[in-house]
Amino acid sequence: MKKKLLFVVLFTAFVSSALTIAGLCFIFNLDAKGAINLGRLLSAMSFIESQYVQEVEKDQLIGGAISGMVRSLGDPHSVYLEPKLYSQLKADISGAFGGIGVYMSFKNDGVQILSVIPDGPGDKAGLQANDSILAVNGEPISSIEYGEVALKIRGEVGTPVDLLIHREGEEDKTYTITRAIIKDKTVSSKMLDDKLGYIRISNFSEGTGKEFKTALNELEAENMKGLILDLRQNPGGVITSCVEVAREIVPAGPIVSVIQRDGTKEVYMSDLEKTRFPIVVLLDQNSASASELLSGALQDTKAAVIVGMKSYGKGSVQTLIPMFRDDGLKLTIAKYYTPNGRSIDGVGIIPDFEVPLENPLPMTREINTDADNDAQLRKAEEILTEQISG
C-alpha cells in the first residue's frame, strides 16, 4: 500500500508538473533546454511540497528559489528583497525611513564603518571610524547578504537598532542607536596656501553638485591656481550629482556611458570649454562608484592626475523590480564606462602615482590637511606646485 501510495503521489506530481511546464513553455516560447530546466525547478518544488517532513508554504519556496537564483549570480549588488525589506527600501527612497549616519565598506567578509557623520545618531551613540559591525539586532553579519546589511540598519525614523561593534583594543559592545533622517553636508573646502585649493567630497547626494559649485567659486575668488580633489573614503551615491560636479571640471565630451546588456547606451556629456586649472585627485581603496566615475573621466581626458591607491571597483547600475507579492529584486542591469570605454567594475581606477600610507588616516568626514603623515596629500601638493610653476 505504501508503495502504491508513493507511486500515485509521484505520478500525480509528474503529471501536474508536466502540464504546468507545457503551459509555461507555450506562454514564454521556451526551447527544449528551457523546458527541461523549468521542469527541474517545478519538480523540485512539487516534491518538497508533497514529501518534505513538514508542511511548507509555497510562497516560502518561491521566495527561496528566487533568492537562490540571485545569489548564484555572484553579484554582491544584486539581492532578493523579501516583503519587509522591499517595503523598507521603497520607503527609504521616498524619504520615510531614516538611518544612523555612517558610511560602510563591505569587503573581506565583513562590514567596517568608514566614517561617521558629525552629530548624527551614530556619532551621538559613540560609533567611530574603523569600527567593525558584527551583528544587527542580534543577527550575525555573516548570515546577512551584503545588499541587505544597510537595509536592516535603516528603518523607520525614531525606532532603535542594535549594533554589535568590535573596536580594536576593546571588548565587543552593543550600541543601541535611534534612527533619524540624515542630512549631511557632503563638500568641504579650504585654501592650503596662496595657490592651492582643496575640496573634499565625502559622498554624492542630491545637493552635492550645488555644494561643489559654491566651493569651487569661493576658491577661485581666492585666486586658486590648482585644485586637490579628495575623493578618499567616498562610497559614491547619486550619479546625476556626480555628473553635475564633472561638468564643472571635465572638458567637453562624454563624462560617463551607461550601457545595458542589449547595447542600449545613455551618455552623460560635458560642455565645459576647457579646464581652468590643474587638478590632482586623491583616491583610496574605499573610493567607489560615482567617485570612480568622476576620477575616470578626469583621468581619460587628462584633466587631472590621480594619486593614491587603486579604487574599489564598483561600476554597475542597479534597479528595483517588483515581484508582485510585495517582494522585489534589486538587480544589476547596466555598467558604467569611462570616456575611453573602460569598465571599472571589479577593476577600479589605477592611480597615475601609487602612494600608500604607512599609517592609515582616521576616516573622518574631513581629513586633516595638516597631517604630516598624509603622504598622498603631500604628493598631490608637490605635483600641483610643479605644474603651476612649470
Catalytic residues: 289, 300, 314
Distance between CA 12 and CA 29 in Å, rounded? 25
Residues 6+ apart with CB under 8 A from 366: 188, 200, 202
Say how many C-beta atoms besides its own lie within 10 A of residue 191's C-beta: 14
Give the C-alpha separation, 384 to 188, whole Å.
20
Q: How far apart are CA 382 and CA 390, in angstroms?
A: 12
At which residue does the C-alpha cell 555644494 appear?
211
How far apart (Å, rounded) are the C-alpha atoms in residues 338 and 132? Answer: 33
In the numeric block, the cell 567617485 is attached to 291
| Bridge partners for 164 per DSSP | 135, 174
Query: Helix 32-51 to helix 58-71 angle, to the nearest 10 degrees?
Result: 130
d(CA 132, CA 127): 10
